[in-house]
Amino acid sequence: MDKTSFIIITVDGPAGAGKGTLAARLAQIYSLDFLDTGLLYRAVALKMLESGEDFNDKEAALRAVLLLNSDDLINPSLRNEAIGSGASIIAVFPEVRSALLAFQRNFASNPSPGKQGVILDGRDIGLVILPEAPCKIFVTASPEVRAERRLKELHQKKIYSTFELILEDMEERDTRDRMRKISPLRPAKDAFILDTTGLNLQDVVEKASFFVDSIYPQAHKNQ
């Protein structure tokens, strides 16, 4: 595939900023293969929970990584908030991160036939996994807006929680993600920072597409 026409988009940002929704929309518009890398960390956490392991046990986390296969990424329980928190605990282990790195890079360099490229969303995609990606987006929003969005999402899935509980959990997870020594959450220098506070999905997609078009003016688009 021609390197200049092969699209690589990274989308990073904190919990509930709308990375997944934006990445899924961009994947559809630009015909890209999409990997939500948070699912990898969540799948490790779920495996540990199922076998009664402690999320702080590094050896157990590494064992769970080695057992991962692609079927593990489609389990609906991965979206539970407890799994999100567990994922952020095991995500601090450098050994776990490096064991998952090859899978992510391999995904990025092998798009399915007919796709124009790839889009990956997570925390460290632009900085660590694909630092050479030409198109990096960092999505953010105020903690209150992010907690409100997550609450709505959970209510739609008939999962009960409160704004206060979600906000507290999100701030705890953000701190862990931002303060960890390895691959802390922060934007790459050349990332487009997209603050989605006060924007609806259509505005967010429009701004992001404008940026993608500036990097890949020849891209074919589905509307």
Interface positions with ligand CDP (CB under 6 A)? 15-16, 20, 37-38, 41-42, 84, 87-88, 91, 122-125, 173, 177
CB 160 to ligand CDP: min, Å: 18
Neighbouring-strand partners of residue 193: 138
- Name the residue nearer to ligand CDP (CB basis): 40 or 219: 40
CB 13 to ligand CDP: min, Å: 7
CA distance between the termini of the chain: 24
Q: How far apart are CA 60 and CA 53, in angstroms?
A: 7
The answer to whether 150 touches 166, Cβ cutoff 8 Å, is yes
CB 114 to ligand CDP: min, Å: 26
CB 47 to ligand CDP: min, Å: 14
- Name the residue nearer to ligand CDP (CB basis): 64 or 219: 64
Give me the phi and psi of 3, to 5 degrees please: -60, -35
**Token representation of residue 139:** 């999505």
The dihedral sign for the CA sequence 143, 146, 147, 148? positive
What letter would DSSP give residue 189?
Answer: T
